[in-house]
Structures are given as structure tokens and as C-alpha cells.
């Protein structure tokens, strides 16, 4: 029987952040068993460590409905469960180095970030599923699809209340995301030059919304760099989960010459009876 640990990531409060399941002894589990465990745990993702050689760990991530190539918050949770030091996670998206300091704060470095255009037809379908329109968009942050281990369309809201009013067509958005290979939708509002409020619908994982999304945070950092919206050496704060009552704080760091994006946050155990 697998030993399932539970952590809240990107917070220092078990009642905040994004809960993640962590299974460190998953070597004998089949794909079907891992999916079943993820569904039973019920969090947006559960991480499974398949093998370990020194500081290298083969890790896979399952939502309640499907495997995902990379998950930031479950990476942070798993790294904190492993303890302080330097770790390398071998994910379906590539190698992800993770450093955990003595205070239990983890910093991952994503695979190389990429940005692609979001076609007009896809943008129209996305806006329709979200029940948004063109007037809801912040023209200074153009819609794109960003990648740093998983694909996320990025839409920027012109007003903070547009995020607070999130109410999307679940079947329509799920179908669109599945057909395009999108993991979550990164909805953002620029509160300051270095601070963004974000929300992440995740219907393809069987979850209405993620309270903290490290993979999307990395992708968004790559987007800001690629679009020359943030400097090459920026440190950014993403505030997520507030509208859900699970406040999360994600630090995104851009390092000159580094193709990946660094994402940092705390993780704390969740007591489960």
C-alpha cells in the first residue's frame, strides 16, 4: 500500500495554498493505480516518485482524470517532503532541478520556456467558454500560449473584478483545452509592475480551479520575458487562490542567460485523518 503524504504548496498555512499528494515509494504502482490514487486523494495533482538514484528522482504527476507532464506545486511539495538539498526531478517534460533550503522553501528551475501565438479562432472560443469578451482584455498584455513544461494560454484582464467574477462554461472549456493540449488557463491581472493576481481554471484535471499553479507561473514568467514586459533579471510576485479562500504566494525569478524560469514557494504538511 502506497504511503500518501499531503502538503499545501506555495503557503506556510495548511489551510492556504494548493494541496498536493506526494507518494515517495511509487515504484511498484501501475499507471492505473497511480490514477486511482490521484482520484481518491482528490487534489488537482498527486506526485509519484518512481525511482531515485542519488539526487535524481523520476517523478510523474496525475490529476484525478489524467497524467500531466509537469506540475509545479506538486514538485514543490515533493521536494520539501524529500528535505533540504539539491534535487533533480526527471519529469515527462524534462529535467527540473529543485533546491530546498533549511527553512523548507523550494525553488524549481523549469525547462526552457517558449511562447506561441494564440490564433483568432482559439481566442474566440476561449473567450466564449470563459464568458468574456474583447473589452475584458488588457491590451498591454496580448493573449499568447506559453510553455515551461506544460502549455497554458494566457489572458490578461483589464480589471481585477473580472477575475473575481470567474464563472466559465465547464464542458466547453474542458473540450477546447483537451483538443489543444492546454493544461490550465492562466488568467492574470497586473496589480503592479512586479505583482500579478492570477487564477487558473483546470477542468481537464477534474478540478474547477487551481489555488496555486507553479507550471503556469513558470510559463507566465517566460511570457513576460519573451514579450519584453519584464526585464531579464526580474523577480515577480504572483498572488493566487485569494478568490477561493486559499491564499497562495508564488515567486517567479528570471535569470539572464537561463532559458528556464525559477519558481519558489513554501510547502507545509496537511494533517489528514
Catalytic residues: 45
Backbone angles phi, psi at 225, to 5 degrees: -70, -45
Are 175 and 122 a contacting pair, CB within 8 Å? no
Distances in Å between the Cα of 105 and the Cα atoms of 102, 140, 177, 190, 251 are: 7, 33, 32, 25, 11
Distance CA 229, CA 205 (A): 30
Distance CA 110, CA 102 (A): 21
Q: Which cell numbers in the block locate residue 83? A: 528535505
Non-local (6+) Cβ contacts of 5 within 8 A are 21, 22, 23, 24, 81, 269
Distance CA 90, CA 83 (A): 17
Amino acid at each position: 500500500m502506497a504511503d500518501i503524504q499531503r502538503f499545501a504548496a506555495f503557503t506556510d498555512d495548511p489551510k492556504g495554498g494548493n494541496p498536493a499528494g506526494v507518494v515517495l515509494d511509487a515504484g511498484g504502482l501501475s499507471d492505473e493505480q497511480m490514477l486511482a490514487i490521484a482520484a481518491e486523494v482528490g487534489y488537482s495533482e498527486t506526485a509519484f516518485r518512481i525511482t531515485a538514484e542519488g539526487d535524481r528522482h523520476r517523478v510523474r504527476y496525475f490529476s484525478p482524470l489524467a497524467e500531466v507532464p509537469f506540475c509545479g506545486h506538486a514538485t514543490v511539495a515533493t521536494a520539501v517532503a524529500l528535505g533540504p538539498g539539491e534535487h533533480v526531478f526527471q519529469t515527462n517534460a524534462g529535467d527540473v532541478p529543485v533546491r530546498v533550503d533549511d527553512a523548507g522553501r523550494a525553488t524549481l528551475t523549469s525547462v526552457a520556456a517558449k511562447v506561441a501565438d494564440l490564433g483568432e479562432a482559439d481566442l474566440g472560443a476561449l473567450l466564449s467558454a470563459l464568458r468574456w469578451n474583447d473589452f475584458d482584455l488588457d491590451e498591454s498584455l496580448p493573449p499568447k500560449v506559453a510553455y515551461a513544461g506544460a502549455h497554458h494560454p494566457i489572458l490578461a484582464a483589464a480589471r481585477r473584478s473580472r477575475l473575481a467574477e470567474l464563472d466559465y462554461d465547464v464542458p466547453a472549456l474542458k473540450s477546447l483545452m483537451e483538443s489543444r493540449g492546454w493544461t490550465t488557463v492562466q488568467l492574470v491581472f497586473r496589480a503592479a509592475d512586479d505583482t500579478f493576481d492570477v487564477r487558473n481554471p483546470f477542468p481537464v484535471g477534474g478540478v474547477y480551479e487551481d489555488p496555486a499553479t507553479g507550471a503556469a507561473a513558470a510559463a507566465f514568467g517566460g511570457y513576460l520575458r519573451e514579450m519584453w514586459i519584464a526585464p531579464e533579471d526580474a523577480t515577480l510576485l504572483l498572488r493566487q487562490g485569494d478568490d477561493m479562500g486559499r491564499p497562495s504566494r508564488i515567486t517567479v525569478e528570471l535569470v539572464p542567460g537561463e532559458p528556464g524560469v525559477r519558481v519558489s514557494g513554501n510547502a507545509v504538511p496537511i494533517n489528514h485523518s
